[in-house]
Chain A
Amino acid sequence: MLKNRQDLIDIRRIYEAAAGHERKILVCCGTGCMAGGALNIYAELKRIMDEKGVNCSVELEKDPHGDVVGLKKSGCHGFCEMGPLVRIEPHGWLYVKVKAEDCEEIVEKTIIGGEYIERLGYRQNGVLYKEQEEIPFYKKQTRLALEHCGHIDATSINEYFAAGGYKALEKALFDMTREEIIQEIELSNLRGRGGGGFPTGKKWRQVYNQPEGTKYIVCNGDEGDPGAFMDRSIMEGDPHRMLEGMMIAGIACGAQEGYIYVRAEYPLAIERLRAAIDQMYEAGILGKNILGTDFSFDMHINRGAGAFVCGEGSALTASIEGQRGMPRVKPPRTVEKGLFAKPTVLNNVETYANVAPIIVKGANWYKSIGPEKSPGTKAFALTGNVVNTGLIEVPMGTKLREVIYDIGGGIRGGKEFKAVQIGGPSGGCLIENNLELALDFDSLKKVGAMIGSGGLVVMDEDTCMVEVARFFMNFTQNESCGKCVPCREGTKRMLEILERIVAGKGVPEDIDLLLELADTISSTALCGLGKTAAFPVVSTIKNFREEYMEHIVDKVCKTKTCTALKKIVIDPELCKGCSKCARNCPVGAITGEIKKPFVIDQNKCIKCGACLDGCPFKAIKEA
């Protein structure tokens, strides 16, 4: 139990020393690697080390004695494509795609023998990269919010202490006034990482200025964009970092309670947060009179049932209150009347994770990263048809090309780049022309896109953009809360039209009708999610109108994605009339006379492809 500032300084010093340069194996236990069997690898390593008598420690201890090898479960390293990942300290080696069978060798050669196993190393274009930091995927990144993810044991507050944890809290409690904290955040130009990019300092000041006595700090961990997992990785990999940020907000704004709203689909994040909060209470960092000051703070976790709309501020607070998660009209804004109708600071996970380094290193340091108006870094979930998928963090203003080609390693399978969907279902697509675009709040806004929470879905030439639009509209339509008419009914009708188009039943007026609906929804919907619901459709129409027209007029999907538009034909030149295809056809769509070319009745054909594979003369083709 830490009773005062000196206790905190002492414990940090002890663990800093303990962390030292000892040998450590970090098994990535982010959700991705866990799915790949990371827990098995962890257990196997432990078993083998026990068996071989390697002095193995799973806990960071105050008093490291001699030759101990620390075995840790770390948070997400981000390089999920290559998982399960195992990092070897102090060398900084990274082993990729590790299997349980490899563990024996790792212990034998690397731990006992101190030898690098080339077989498990990462190769790109024939080059072997031994050290994690040298791998191009990592080299172009600047890890700030994700600084500790993958490097420390996410379940240990001691490792967080060792990594300089709670220094910012200490500074905020003892060396700064509330006014100074807010000024520092304002000066840093930190902007909300949840999508809107609202200046965090300004938000804090608005809450600080409210005369009301009870205030709340709420963290939005309801990351709902398909394919996005930045916040999840922080909550899983470095929960204390985010909690520290929330506490600093509490000190600055005069709040004594924090609520974390996490989707129930993130069980590991919830488990790690819960463990972290327990440790904080135990250490005296949460609770009454923290470190002997008159600042008291409590933290609660609320699990959301996974409604996308609960990422919207007023729906989120309603959900915490036990109400239906539905946005309400504003004013009053959340800073005036948020959770339980009290002034509330609502930021997302990544925003809070940026607070501690700003407090420790200062606003000027922070502003030196990225462009002045939107400084700092941004985490992105890089997914889709790119070589290196995973979690990345780059300085704001990094060019899209660098992200896709340098970090992402280019398009998978040597295909052509077609587009990248940014900002999830609220965002738009960027195309070839935008590759030189700087990724920051303002530059993206200019081209009608947004960072959103940071999903980046890369699409290659084989992607049908109409289908992409339909996919996102299907998502939004399902996730609309149903409150306001334009979003509830409008998205339903847009989806109907898109479904019609991909089914080959579109009519030329459909594009105008889609745009008219999109305009109505964007202009009149109640909340931010509604207002942006039609963006993917508008942006695909803007950039790929031709493709829409092909679907509608020519009834052709060039990428062969839309099943209904596929056409399977028999080449009469090659067909020998063997009747095998007709016998394979489950719907009786193929007819003909033996020894004469057979034909497919397009009205009956269900495009299953059973005939294609079976033809001994390769006479059947997809047109």
Chain B
Amino acid sequence: MCAKPKTMMIDGMPVLIENEKNILEVIRKAGIDLPTFCYHSELSTYGACRMCVVENKWGDIEASCSSVPRDGMEIWTNTPKVRKYRKMILELLLSSHCRDCTTCNQNGTCKLQELARRYGVSHVRFENSKTVPEIDDSSASITRDMSKCILCGDCVRVCDEVMAVGAIDFAGRGSKMKVTPAFGEPISTTSCVGCGQCAAVCPTGAITIKNDVAAVWDALSDPNNEVVVQVAPAVRVGIGQMFGMKGGEDVMGKVVSALRRLGFNKVFDTITGADLTVLEETNEFLTRLENPEKLPLFTSCCPAWVKYAEEKHPELLAHLSTCRSPMQMFGAVLKEQYKNTGKKIISVAIMPCTAKKSEAKRAEFNDEQGPATDFVLTTQELGQMIKEAGIVFNELDPQVVDQPFGIGSGAGVIFGVTGGVTEAVIRRVSEDKSNAALRILEYKGVRGFEGIKETEVEVGETVIRIAVVSGLANAEKLIKEMQEGKRFYHFVEVMACPGGCVSGAGQPVGTLAMKKKRGEGLYQADKMSILKHSEENPTLAGLYSGVLKGKVHELLHRTYVDKRIK
């Protein structure tokens, strides 16, 4: 006999209870957009903002985020009482919030602003106790302004629970409480990896992504500059959301058009750099495979992961691939390629990532041509420039990128999603290059948003064990188990953000479903590409015999060393 389905009454409507961990999820399933600041389904329940309060049939108030759904429960989400409380809570939050909304980075996307409008808070009856900005802009990736913090703790939990970094936490009591690095030090002195996920979850302008738009405008308007730009795979499936498109559509053609209109002299696709990475990393892997003590090989495309390894696992640095990330390989190639044009080469990268901003500033990537990448703009910043220039994005005709780097493979495109690097490397090492082999590979466990995935492939006589992790907390778990001898791999792909670069903090803020759609968009782009394998990219042969001749190591590799003070 089947168990009787459990239901609860929400605003007089019966709603089925499935496996929801709290009534908030049931309420949202019922099509009611109950407001929250501190609730994220991926994070632990914190229960601090109290916006999600509902009234039960006895007139008592419950926070729906922390109430367990029970059969026969009756709750009301929109009574005079709860409306009054929500409004008061908003008023209280606004009374200790720096309210210079019009000049705030988050203006228009601020949750506090949105809810204050939704609940008609037109007047705050209390004095404002936070009018002076309290800014920490020491990081290249994020800017913190604690006068705008509403202490929802989302950043603290994402940094700890998803990223296992724990660079920030609460300090102080009562109304003196604040979110801060230990001892109030600047964030740049901490183990912060620059992933920016704190900014992505921040409902207000308290943590925002470092904005480099002004510097790029300056570079573009200087006639002595030759401004070259590369666009990362994940950007093409993310930016459309800023212009009212459905999530996950590949709008690379429009991005290229937009970049040309903005004045970039040469527009390229980072997938060319990714193809280079695949070749170099595969070579490195096959070499290491002959010396088992040099295994496992950890990928190093993700700068947040590299910083994490430096901070928390210096013992693993020798196992990090010496390959630069696609951005830094390609940036170096571009600087080399155009060094004799008589103009100053400014290399810009459009990335879904905030850690890339920090990576671009690392001393390791600064050689005689200057930094491999001068400026990193996030997807959001590019969107902002397009809007500022008045370009009607949706009406742009698609264009293709410039030669001589106009070709990239599908293997390079899928770098933007977790498992993509691995899949590209497997395609490279497999002897069977047929489409059937590619289809089989799709189902071998490298795709999907699970935090830890594993698979095996045969290379010659050897069975290669591979792990793919995304989310640094998952990486930490995997590393711990590897170090305890519970797991063994030859190759480990690590991406700091859950789901890979499509979920980067530089992307427009999106739900998990949205991020998955972006991933699907990249796989679709791969399907549509003529070349599936990186080694088929004809541009690369030209590169190896051209600008890279004798400079492969200098331009494409770097070794990370333990920089901790001992």
Taking Cβ atoms with an 8 Å cutoff, the residues of A that contact B are 307, 324, 326, 328-331, 477-486, 488-493, 496, 513, 516-517, 520, 523-526
Q: Chain B contacts of A523 at CB under 8 A?
A: 53, 61, 81, 85
> Shortest CB–CB separation between residue B522 and chain A, in angstroms?
37
Contact B65 A482 (CB under 8 A): no
User: Is B47's CB under 8 angstroms from A526's CB?
Assistant: yes
Q: Is the CB of B88 within 8 A of A520?
A: yes
Chain B residues positioned under 8 Å from A526 (CB to CB): 47-48, 50, 63
A interface majority secondary structure: helix
Residue pair B50, A486 in contact (C-beta under 8 Å): yes
Cβ-neighbour of B48 out of A331, A484, A516, A517 (below 8 A): A484
Report which of B125, B127, B176 forms a contact with A482, defined as CB distance below 8 A: B176
Whether A482 lies near B175 (C-beta < 8 A) is yes
Q: Can you list, as one digit per residue, whether each of B33-75 has a CB less than 8 Å from chain A (1) or not (0)? A: 0000000000001111110010000000101011010000000
Interface string of B235-257 (1 = CB under 8 A from A): 00000000000000000000000
Count chain B residues whose beta carbon lies closer than 8 angstroms to a beta carbon of A. Answer: 36
Write out the residue numbers on chain A whose beta carbons fall within 8 Å of the beta carbon of B46.
329, 483
- Chain A residues contacting B153 (CB-CB under 8 Å) are 483
Kindly state whether residue B177 has any CB partner on chain A within 8 Å: yes
Hey, what's the 0/1 contact readout for B461-494 against A, CB within 8 Å counting as 1? Answer: 0000000000000000000000000000000000
List the A side residues contacting B92 at CB < 8 Å. 485-486, 489-490, 493
Nearest CB of chain B from residue A467's CB, rounded to whole Å: 21
**Chain B positions within 8 Å of A493 at CB level:** 92, 95, 126
Q: Give chain A nearest CB distance to B506 CB in angstroms.
A: 30
Q: Which residues of B contact A324 (CB under 8 A)?
A: 169-170
Are A478 and B85 neighbours in the complex by a CB distance under 8 Å? no
Q: Is the CB of A524 within 8 A of B89?
A: yes
Q: Is the CB of A492 within 8 A of B175?
A: yes
Check if B292 is an interface residue, CB within 8 A of chain A: no
| Closest-CB distance, A15 to chain B (whole angstroms) | 47
Tell whether A329 pairs with B45 under 8 Å between CB atoms, given A485-B93, A517-B88: yes
* Contact indicator B125/A513 (Cβ below 8 Å): yes
Q: Are A485 and B89 in contact (CB under 8 A)?
A: yes
Interface residues of B (CB under 8 A from A): 45-50, 53, 61, 63, 65-66, 68, 81, 84-85, 88-89, 92-93, 95-96, 125-127, 129, 150-151, 153, 169-170, 172-177
Among B48, B150, B153, the most chain A Cβ lie within 10 Å of the Cβ of: B48
Whole-angstrom CA separation of A517 from B126 in the bound complex: 11
B89: chain A residues at CB < 8 Å are 485-486, 520, 524
Contact A330 B177 (CB under 8 A): no
B96 nearest CB neighbor, chain A only: A489
CB distance from B129 to the nearest CB of A (A): 8
Contacts of A328 in B (CB 8 A): 47
Contact partners of B125 in chain A: CB under 8 A: 513
Told that A478-B174, A479-B174 touch, could you supply 16 new A-B pairs with CB distance under 8 A?
Answer: A329-B63, A331-B68, A481-B174, A483-B153, A484-B49, A488-B174, A489-B95, A489-B96, A493-B92, A496-B126, A523-B53, A523-B61, A523-B81, A524-B50, A526-B48, A526-B50
Closest 3 CB pairs of A and B: A482-B177, A329-B66, A329-B47
Q: In the complex the two chains form, is A479's CB within 8 Å of B175's CB?
A: no
Picked from A329, A492, A496, A516, the residue with its CB within 8 Å of the CB of B174 is A492
Beta-carbon nearest neighbor of B94 in chain A: A489
Chain B nearest Cβ from A455, distance in angstroms: 21
Q: Report if A482-B170 is in contact (Cβ < 8 Å); known contacts: A331-B68, A524-B53, A526-B50.
A: yes
Give CA–CA (A330, B22) in the complex, Å.
11
A486 to chain B: which residues have CB within 8 Å? 50, 88-89, 92
A488 and B175 contacting across the interface, CB-CB below 8 Å: yes
- The complex places the Cα of A482 from the Cα of B173 at a distance, in Å, of 6
- On whether the beta carbons of B175 and A489 are closer than 8 Å, the reply is yes
Chain A residue with minimal CB distance to B51? A485
20 A-B pairs, CB-CB below 8 angstroms? A324-B170, A329-B65, A480-B174, A480-B175, A482-B172, A482-B174, A482-B176, A483-B153, A484-B47, A484-B50, A485-B48, A485-B49, A485-B50, A486-B88, A489-B96, A492-B129, A492-B174, A496-B126, A516-B84, A516-B88
Q: Which residues of B contact A483 (CB under 8 A)?
A: 46, 48, 151, 153, 177
Q: Which A residues are CB-close (under 8 A) to B127?
A: 496
A326 to B172, CA, bound (A): 11
Q: Bound state CA distance, A520 and B125, in angstroms? A: 15
| Residues A520 and B174 in contact in the complex (CB < 8 Å), given A482-B151, A484-B50 | no
A307 cross-chain contacts in B, Cβ below 8 A: 173
In the complex, chain A residues whose CB is within 8 Å of the CB of B85:
520, 523-524
A482, A489, A492, A496: which has the most chain B beta carbons within 10 Å?
A: A489
Q: Quick one: closest A residue to B175, CB to CB? A: A492
A486 and B174 CA atoms in complex are apart in Å by 11
Give bound CA distance, A513 to B123, whole Å.
14
B61 lies within 8 A of A477 (CB): no
Q: In the assembly, what is the distance between CA of A331 and CA of B68, in Å?
A: 8
A480–B63 alpha-carbon span in the complex (Å)? 19
Rounded to whole angstroms, the CA-CA distance of A516 and B61 in the bound complex is 15
Query: Smallest Cβ distance from B152 to chain A, in angstroms?
Result: 9
- Who on chain A is nearest to B50 by CB? A524
- Which residues of A sit under 8 angstroms from B84, Cβ to Cβ? 516, 520
**Nearest chain A residue, comparing its CB with the CB of B49:** A485
Contacting residues, chain B, for A330 (C-beta < 8 A):
66
**Assembly CA distance A486 to B81 (angstroms):** 15
A488 touches B151 (CB 8 A): yes
Kindly state the separation between the CA atoms of A484 and B66 in the bound complex, as whole angstroms.
Answer: 13
In the complex, A324→B125 CA distance in Å?
32
Q: Which residue of B lies closest to A497 (CB)?
A: B126
Q: Are A525 and B95 touching (Cβ within 8 A)?
A: no
Interface centre among B66, B93, B151, B175 (most CB of A within 10 A): B175
Q: In the complex the two chains form, what is the Cα distance from A207 to B89 in whole Å?
A: 36
- Which residues of chain B have C-beta atoms less than 8 A from A484's C-beta? 47-50
Docked pose: A523 CA to B53 CA in angstroms:
9
Minimal beta-carbon separation of A341 from chain B (angstroms): 13
- CB B251 to nearest CB in A, in angstroms, measures 40
Cα distance, A525 to B88, chains bound together (Å): 12
A409 to B151, CA, bound (A): 49
Contact of B63 among A479, A513, A524 (CB under 8 A): A524
Given contacts A482-B151, A524-B63, contact A477 B175 (CB under 8 A): yes
- Which of chain B's residues has its CB closest to A481's CB? B173
Measured between alpha carbons, how far is A485 from B46 in the docked complex, in Å?
12
Residues of A within 8 A of B177 (CB): 481-483, 488
Instruction: State how many angstroms separate the Cβ of B277 from the closest Cβ of chain A.
Output: 42
Alpha-carbon distance A485/B84, docked complex (angstroms):
15
> Distance (Å) between the CB of A334 and the closest chain B CB?
15
Report yes or no: A524 in contact with B61, Cβ–Cβ below 8 A: yes
| Chain B neighbourhood of A525, CB < 8 A | 50
Chain B residues, CB < 8 A from A516: 84, 88
Find chain B residues with CB under 8 A from A481 CB: 173-174, 177
Q: Give every chain A residue within 8 A of B47 (Cβ-Cβ).
A: 328-329, 484, 526
Kindly state the separation between the CA atoms of A525 and B129 in the bound complex, as whole angstroms.
Answer: 21
Distance of A264 from chain B, by nearest CB (Å): 16
Best-surrounded residue of A477, A492, A496 (most CB of chain B within 10 A): A492
Cα-based distance from A130 to B126 in the complex (angstroms): 60
Residues of B near A490 (CB, < 8 A) are 88, 92
State A489–B130 Cα separation when bound (angstroms): 12
B61 CB contacts on chain A under 8 angstroms: 523-524
**Nearest-neighbor residue (CB-CB) of B92 within chain A:** A489
CA distance A523 to B59 in the complex (A): 10
Nearest residue (CB) in B for A483 is B48
Q: Which residue of B lies closest to A330 (CB)?
A: B66
Chain A residue at minimal CB-CB distance from B171: A324
A331: chain B residues at CB < 8 Å are: 66, 68
